A and B are shown apart, each in its own frame.
Chain A
Amino acid sequence: MVEAVDSGSKPLLSPDGIRTDGRKIDEMRKVKMEVGLLKNCSGSAYIEQGKTKIIVAVHGPREAHPKHLAQPGRAILRTRYHMAPFSTSDRKSPAPSRREIEITKVIREALEPAVMLDEFPKTSIDVFIEVLQADAGTRSAGITAAALALAEAGIPMRDMVAAVAVGKLEGRVVMDLNEEEDEHGQADMPVAMMPNVNRITLLQLNGRLTRAELEEGLSMARRGVDQLYEMQKQALREKYTSSESAQEED
């Protein structure tokens, strides 16, 4: 006789604060960042956050098409968040879903305050975010990688943008949810910040948090953003300290 496995009965957090994947409550998944992988775009970046894998390409500034979209005093920032058909366990239709359209919008709004769009009137800057493998936290990882790709493209920015999700498991606030925690947890709150100018550019909440939990979550997100920002700096410095790429490329 085969016993039915009840995944709901398995605790997501042990009494001593250890999660199912062995992390502590304020520990992020392992993050890997790389810059400048693609040659046919202005800037590109790759991020791995746990099992989430995302590649981002930036084009621009270039003439805005169709022309009626062009703004006389600034560039327009266009984003495209897309999950590859093989990024999920079930095949995902390549057509843009309602969720992808929403995430496209929130990512654009998270990046816009950081990019100096008024430097390039009547042009467009296009950010393509392609999720290769999804394991929760794709919008936040996408924002972190998009900021890296924009910086690599040489587009002037007020600050980098880094994002991380905090959530609630078994009544406790935790950082950087994975797929299982995202699915069965009590809350999920992605937060994007400009770490130097200390500005929040994205704050969403799925679920319920008390005021104290919200404050705890924000301070935890801040610590996560600081860690990610250090990794972003490291990735950019590694790219430009090598002798070949140190000079300004034509």
Chain B
Amino acid sequence: MSDAIVVPGEEVGVAEQYVPEGLVYELNGILRSSGVGRVLKDDVKHIIKIQRQGKKLQVPSKGERVYAVITDAKPKMVTADIVGKPAKSYGSPFVGLIPVSMISSQRIDAADNYFVPSDIILAEVVNERSPFILSTKADECGVVFGRCRSCGDVLESTGRGLVCRNCGLRDERKLSSNYLIRSSQEAPQSERRDVKRQDHRHGDYRKKYRRQ
């Protein structure tokens, strides 16, 4: 790695000698820097690139895990505002799209059954450029915080789905393994099979249900 810092436009090599990679471009056979950084030359693979110095661009990149807020959910497509990545928020949100085929590794008929506007999700970016396509297929990806479709209160994870802590409505999402709000009654993984669904109903919704 060279100690000298190059700035945009500076000549860093020739096309006959190196293949340009990150932040290097070729113009009339000459390789020039397109950013501020240090030159990295691989003389074995004949690759040249610039190691960026200073601020990283606040743009989602391929393979990155990002947080997004669902803005619209339709059966075939969900749109979301990408607001940031773990421990870093983007200045202004970017538009993200989640096609129905990118929600889960299992078959899903309607995307709007698994995401609701206002849900906060963790997702993986699968392309380089806007509009960013997001995938929630990984276990850690999916809804990390959701609200009830009916009353808007917080949904708690019971281990077998989501339950509204106000109205008791049961709901379904493509859940992240890191869902934030967990029910105190949530059973350990080994005991979950024995827990009856009715045990998790509480609040006004259960009373109303009984009266009927």
Say yes or no: B8 contacts A240, CB within 8 Å: no
Q: Given the known inter-chain contacts A197-B27, A233-B7, please indicate yes or no for A240 contacting B93, CB distance below 8 A.
A: no
Say yes or no: B8 contacts A114, CB within 8 Å: yes
Which listed residue (B7, B10, B57, B95) contacts A61, Cβ 8 A? B57
Task: Give the residues in chain B near A154, CB-CB below 8 Å.
Answer: 35-36, 52, 54-57
- Any chain A CB within 8 A of the CB of B91? yes
- Any chain A CB within 8 A of the CB of B94? yes
Q: Which residues of A come within 8 Å of B, CB atoms?
A: 36, 42-43, 59, 61-63, 114, 116, 120-123, 151-160, 194-197, 232-233, 236-237, 239-241, 245-250
CB proximity of B67 to chain A, nearest CB, Å: 15
Q: List 6 A-B contacts (CB under 8 A).
A: A116-B25, A122-B95, A152-B54, A154-B52, A155-B57, A157-B35
**Chain B contact residues, majority secondary structure:** loop
Say yes or no: A232 contacts B7, CB within 8 Å: yes
Complex CA distance for A37 and B8, rounded to whole angstroms: 20
CB proximity of A189 to chain B, nearest CB, Å: 23
Which listed residue (B11, B32, B92, B130) contacts A120, Cβ 8 A? B130
- Any chain A CB within 8 A of the CB of B138? no
Digitize B146-160: 1 where CB-to-A-CB distance is under 8 Å, 0 elsewhere.
000000000000000
Complex CA distance for A240 and B37, rounded to whole angstroms: 8
Residue of B23, B87, B93, B130 with most chain A CB atoms under a 10 A cut-off = B130
* 7 pairs of A and B residues whose beta carbons are closest in the complex: A159-B9, A196-B9, A157-B8, A156-B34, A122-B130, A240-B53, A62-B92
| Shortest Cβ distance from A43 into B: residue | B55
Task: Give the residues in chain A near B57, CB-CB below 8 Å.
Answer: 42, 61, 153-155
Complex CA distance for A246 and B51, rounded to whole angstroms: 11
CB proximity of B175 to chain A, nearest CB, Å: 28
| Shortest Cβ distance from B25 into A: residue | A158
- Any chain A CB within 8 A of the CB of B59? yes
Can you add 12 more A-B contacts, CB < 8 Å, to A123-B94, A197-B9? A62-B58, A121-B130, A155-B57, A157-B8, A158-B25, A196-B11, A236-B36, A237-B5, A239-B54, A240-B53, A247-B53, A248-B54
Residue of B90, B92, B131 with most chain A CB atoms under a 10 A cut-off = B92
Say yes or no: A120 contacts B129, CB within 8 Å: yes
Q: Given the known inter-chain contacts A42-B55, A122-B131, A240-B54, please indicate yes or no for A158 contacting B92, CB distance below 8 A.
A: no
| Shortest Cβ distance from A41 into B: residue | B91
| Shortest Cβ distance from A238 into B: residue | B5
Task: Give the residues in chain A near B32, CB-CB below 8 Å.
Answer: 158-159, 196-197
Which listed residue (B9, B87, B90, B131) contacts A195, Cβ 8 A? B9
Complex CA distance for A122 and B131, rounded to whole angstroms: 8
- Any chain A CB within 8 A of the CB of B88? yes
Say yes or no: A63 contacts B130, CB within 8 Å: yes
Say yes or no: A236 contacts B5, CB within 8 Å: yes
Task: Give the residues in chain B near A159, CB-CB below 8 Å.
Answer: 8-9, 32
